[in-house]
Structure 1
Amino acid sequence: MEKRALTSDILVSPLGLGTVKFGRNQGVKYPKGFELPSDQQIDHLLGLAFDLGINLIDTAPAYGLSEERLGKRLLNRQEWVIETKVGESFEKGESSFDFSTDATRLSVERSLRRLKTDYLDLILIHSDGNDEKILKYEGVLDTLMQMQQQGYIRAVGISSKTVEGALLAYELGCDAVMATYNPTYTDELPVLEAAAKQHKAVLIKKAFASGHLDKIGGADPVEQALGFIFAQQGVTSVVLGTLNPDHLRHNVQVAKAVLGA
């Protein structure tokens, strides 16, 4: 798969590997429960993703053990684009949010330790839904941009919940936005259109409606969803989470067909 520009010096695969299932199985919205994978399963999935041409890894402190487990395995660090988040923590089955300056810096430093790296390619603000308030009045964005200047972070953005918040993020100089878009939910299309117009990055979450492929329909819901999403020129990468190697292979096969790769 041909890489796409996240920024002028960061290239990512059009599919990214989401890793919430590597570290958390509580409080998630998937249709079926699941057990956390073994170390061997994670090793196999990461190796397969790499062999299939995926270089973007999506994680977050709110994904439980995900960062820590990845840090023990991404030994060929330079080959991966690691995207994590700040603002949300998940402990004892509940999420909490803190977008203050101190919490942001501590979160970044913790992620660096957990992921065993001295820099992070992209950090997104893990929004609680109050996008505009977070961006305008909390210390998180200024802190991230300061840490970006200091070399700890290569790119900054937000995993947004509103169109207004995503557009504001672009206005304020963010490099990327993570937005929701799939055949069953198109409310955030203006974000994709703005990304294309402004030559900014947009990552797509919930491409398969959080695993509810039955809602997408079509002979092959994966093809239906990816074809629909990649029809938008602004899309940089679609982040998909799976623990099933066959599903991962199929996702890549479909994406390559859709993109003409």
Structure 2
Amino acid sequence: MRYNVLGKTGLKVSNICFGALTIGPLQKNMTKEEGSKVILEALERGINFIDTAQLYGTYPHIKQALKSYKRENVVIITKSYAYSKETAQESLKEALKEMGTDYVDGFLLHEQESEHTIRGHYEALEFFIKMKEKGYIRSVGISTHNVSGVKDAIKFKEIDVIHPIVNKQGIGIHDGTIDEMIEAIRQAKKNNIGIYAMKPLGGGNLIYSYDEAMDFVLSLDIIDSIAIGMQSKEEVIANILKVEGKIIPDDIKRKLNNKKRHLQIASWCIGCNACVQKCSHKALKIVNEKAVVDPDKCVLCGYCSKYCKDFCIKVI
């Protein structure tokens, strides 16, 4: 396992990060016991970095895993939509209590779009900075689906970490191309900002070109770590072997290839109809102002996801 320093935070992180979203109620909905076993598999195999968020509902899973692992050996970064001192205080209190820890290694403003949204959430950021001074938080930053989010975060000297979307097709980037995102990240790195990427497989939509998708992100020397969702021990093993440049055993490949997957459309879909118009298999339609999928027609190609500006569509 390779470890990198996460920019000016000084935190030493594995170059693959355990993305906790997928084990929680928004996707697999694993029990805390089930989820903790997958987390522990990752930790015991060298991953020392966990990404989570208030929204994900995975704090109990992490707490359960930490009962069997030394807290000081794990880097945990979380996120919230806090916009005021009060909401920031509540989100930090929840994170510490629900994960059973005295501190978090990073607290990010979730899904920031630009300088304007960062300023709109600045009161929360100020609170997190004060908690950083007191030792409850070790770094602050933003997550973003926007090129402008990365560019504008550079303007704030307080920002230690940026968590942007990076995948070979630019799936989920709201306001530009993957080339533009990479250039923005390159500028952030020049300012010694830590970068850990999200969605290397485009929310599962690139799962059938796994090697190509992972090779693309791993080739970028401007990224300190890659957060990827993992729901089983086999996925943990396969992803670790991949980042280490080793061969994934055939039995693990078969098990993962035989996993039953489906197209998931998130609850925040606004029914814009873009995906419906692009689906050549006629597997999507709008019902009650939301997109719905016909599983008998869907071939899980994931092409529709490229046209969803709100990143509602995932293959899980």
**Structure 2 length-normalised TM:** 0.69
2:85 maps to 101
Across the two proteins, how many residue pairs are aligned to each other?
Answer: 233
1:19-74 CA-partner distances (Å, limit 9, x unpaired):
1123223xxxxxxxx6422344323212210122101011111002x012212321
1:2 maps to 2
Q: What is the alpha-carbon distance in structure 2 between the residues aligned to residue 247 and residue 41 of structure 1? A: 14
Secondary structure of 2:141 counterpart: strand
Q: CA deviation at 1:146?
A: 1.4
Secondary structure of 1:165 counterpart: helix
1:67 maps to 59
Q: What is the alpha-carbon distance in structure 2 between the residues aligned to residue 108 and residue 9 of structure 1? A: 21
What amino acid is the match of 1:168?
A: D
1:193-227 CA-partner distances (Å, limit 9, x unpaired):
1233222211111110101125xx6xxx3321222
What amino acid is the match of 2:217?
A: I
1:45 lines up with 2:14 in the alignment: no
1:91-240 mapped onto 2 (5 Å cutoff): 98-127=82-111, 129-138=112-121, 139-173=123-157, 174-185=159-170, 186=178, 187-213=180-206, 221-240=209-228
- CA 1:8–1:105: 2 relative to 1, 3 Å: closer
Q: What is the alpha-carbon distance in structure 2 between the residues aligned to residue 57 and residue 197 of structure 1? A: 25
Q: CA deviation at 1:109?
A: 1.3
Q: What is the alpha-carbon distance in structure 2 between the residues aligned to residue 8 and residue 114 of structure 1? A: 24
Structure having the larger proportion of residues in strand: 1
Which of the pair has more CA radius of gyration? 2
- 8 A Cα contact 1:192 1:232, kept in partner: no
- 8 A Cα contact 1:180 1:204, kept in partner: yes
Q: What is the alpha-carbon distance in structure 2 between the residues aligned to residue 210 and residue 246 of structure 1? A: 18
Structure with the larger RCO, 1 or 2 (CA within 8 Å, 6+ apart) = 1
1:80-111 CA-partner distances (Å, limit 9, x unpaired):
10110121xxxxxxxxxx41121111111111
What amino acid is the match of 1:243?
A: Q
Q: Which runs of 4+ in 1 moved over 3 A?
A: none
- CA 1:231–1:250: 2 relative to 1, 3 Å: same
What amino acid is the match of 1:255?
A: V
Secondary structure of 2:66 counterpart: coil
Q: CA deviation at 1:8?
A: 5.0
Secondary structure of 2:221 counterpart: coil
1:22 lines up with 2:10 in the alignment: no
CA RMSD of the aligned region, Å? Answer: 1.9
Q: What is the alpha-carbon distance in structure 2 between the residues aligned to residue 191 and residue 67 of structure 1? A: 31
What amino acid is the match of 2:83?
A: F
Q: CA deviation at 1:79?
A: 1.2
Higher mean Cα deviation, 34-43 or 148-157?
A: 34-43
- CA 1:247–1:131: 2 relative to 1, 3 Å: same
What amino acid is the match of 2:40?
A: G
Secondary structure of 1:188 counterpart: helix
Q: What is the alpha-carbon distance in structure 1 between the residues aligned to residue 102 and residue 108 of structure 2? A: 17
Secondary structure of 2:65 counterpart: coil
- 8 A Cα contact 1:178 1:205, kept in partner: yes
Q: What is the alpha-carbon distance in structure 1 between the residues aligned to residue 33 and residue 87 of structure 2? A: 33
- 8 A Cα contact 1:222 1:251, kept in partner: no
- CA 1:104–1:245: 2 relative to 1, 3 Å: same
Q: Percent identity?
A: 24
Q: What is the alpha-carbon distance in structure 2 between the residues aligned to residue 61 and residue 208 of structure 1? A: 22
Secondary structure of 2:163 counterpart: strand
**Structure 1 length-normalised TM:** 0.83
- CA 1:47–1:73: 2 relative to 1, 3 Å: closer
Secondary structure of 1:224 counterpart: helix
